[in-house]
C-alpha cells in the first residue's frame, strides 16, 4: 500500500502480511483452530504446514520413487521428499510455531525448532505444562511460549495490529 492511501490511523497496523509455519504435532486439530480463529479476526496471515496426512507422509518416497525392502531407506526417501516442502516453508516464514503434543517422541518438531532458530526466525512454542522442563532449551530460544492455540492467534493479532484481547485490555 502506498503512503497516499493510508491515513495515520492505519499506521497502528504493521501493514504487512505474516508468513506463519505451523510445525509439529499432527494428531490434534490445533492448526485448524488457529487458521479458523485468525480468519474470523480478519488477520492478514498466510499459514503453512507440513503434510499432515500421516500415511502419505510416511510412504511418499516409496510410492513415487519405488519400493525399498529396508525400512531405513523406505523412511529415508520419504523424509527427503518432505524436506523439500518443510525447509522451503521454514525459510520463507516470518514466524515458526512449533507444537509439542502428548504422544510420540516428536523429534521432528524439535529439529524444525532448531532449524528455525539457526535461521533467525521468530520462534513460538506451544505445549502443555508437563513438558516444561524437557523443552526448556527450546523455550529459551523462543520469543513466546504458549499453552493454547488461542494464545497463538492473540499473538498474531497483536503483532499485526497492536491490539490486545478485548476482555483483557489494560484499563
Residues 55-94 that bind a copy of itself (CB under 8 A): 55-61, 63-65, 69-73, 75-85, 87-89, 92, 94
Least distance from a copy of itself to the Cβ atom of residue 26, Å: 11
- Number of residues in the chain: 171
The answer to the question of residue 101 lying near a copy of itself (CB under 8 A) is: no
Least distance from a copy of itself to the Cβ atom of residue 14, Å: 6
Site for a copy of itself (CB under 8 A): which residue of 27, 28, 128, 140? 140
Residues 6 or more apart whose CB falls under 8 angstroms from that of 126 comprise: 24, 30, 97, 98, 99, 100, 146, 147, 148, 149, 151, 152
CB count in 10 Å sphere of residue 145: 17
CB count in 10 Å sphere of residue 109: 23
Site for a copy of itself (CB under 8 A): which residue of 27, 28, 128, 137? 137
CB count in 10 Å sphere of residue 77: 20
C-beta of 27 vs 76, nearer to a copy of itself: 76
φ and ψ at residue 157, rounded to 5 degrees: -60, -45
Site for a copy of itself (CB under 8 A): which residue of 99, 112, 126, 149? 112
139's grid cell: 523455550
Site size toward a copy of itself (CB under 8 A) is 114
C-beta of 27 vs 165, nearer to a copy of itself: 165
Angle between helices 107-118 and 71-91 (to 10 degrees): 40
Least distance from a copy of itself to the Cβ atom of residue 88, Å: 5
Least distance from a copy of itself to the Cβ atom of residue 149, Å: 12
The answer to the question of residue 170 lying near a copy of itself (CB under 8 A) is: yes
Least distance from a copy of itself to the Cβ atom of residue 27, Å: 14
Q: Rounded distance, CA 91 to CA 62, Å?
A: 26
The answer to the question of residue 28 lying near a copy of itself (CB under 8 A) is: no
Amino acid at each position: 500500500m502506498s503512503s497516499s492511501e493510508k491515513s495515520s490511523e492505519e499506521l497502528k497496523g504493521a501493514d504487512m502480511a505474516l508468513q506463519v509455519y505451523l510445525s509439529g504435532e499432527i494428531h490434534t486439530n490445533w492448526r485448524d483452530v488457529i487458521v479458523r480463529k485468525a480468519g474470523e479476526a480478519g488477520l492478514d496471515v498466510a499459514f503453512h504446514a507440513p503434510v499432515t496426512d500421516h500415511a502419505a507422509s510416511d510412504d511418499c518416497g516409496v510410492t513415487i520413487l519405488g519400493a525399498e525392502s529396508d525400512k531405513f531407506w523406505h523412511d529415508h526417501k520419504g523424509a527427503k521428499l518432505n524436506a523439500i516442502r518443510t525447509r522451503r516453508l521454514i525459510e520463507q516464514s516470518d514466524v515458526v510455531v512449533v507444537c509439542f503434543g502428548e504422544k510420540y517422541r516428536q523429534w521432528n518438531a524439535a529439529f524444525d525448532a532448531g532449524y528455525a532458530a539457526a535461521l533467525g526466525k521468530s520462534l513460538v512454542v506451544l505445549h502443555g505444562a508437563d513438558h516444561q522442563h524437557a523443552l526448556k532449551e527450546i523455550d529459551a530460544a523462543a520469543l513466546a511460549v504458549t499453552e493454547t492455540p488461542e494464545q497463538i492467534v492473540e499473538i498474531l493479532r497483536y503483532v499485526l495490529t497492536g491490539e490486545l484481547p478485548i476482555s483483557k485490555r489494560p484499563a
